[in-house]
Structure 1
Amino acid sequence: QNDGYGGFNDYDNQPRRRKGEPETPNHVLLMTILNPAYPITVDVIHTICQSYGNVLRIVIFKKNGVQAMVEFDGIDPATRAREGLQGADIYSGCCTLRIEYAK
Structure 2
Amino acid sequence: MDAEKEGAKVEGEKKPAAGAGVKKDDGMFISVYKMDMHCEGCAKKIRHAVKHLDGVESVKTDCAGNKLTVMGKVDPAKIKARVEERTKKRVEIVSPQPKKDGGAAAGGGDKKGR
Structure whose residues are more often strand by fraction:
1
Greater CA radius of gyration, 1 or 2?
A: 2
For the superposition of Structure 1 and Structure 2, which TM-score range results when normalised by the shorter chain? 0.3 to 0.5
Using CA pairs under 8 Å that are at least 6 residues apart, name the structure with larger relative contact order, 1 or 2: 1
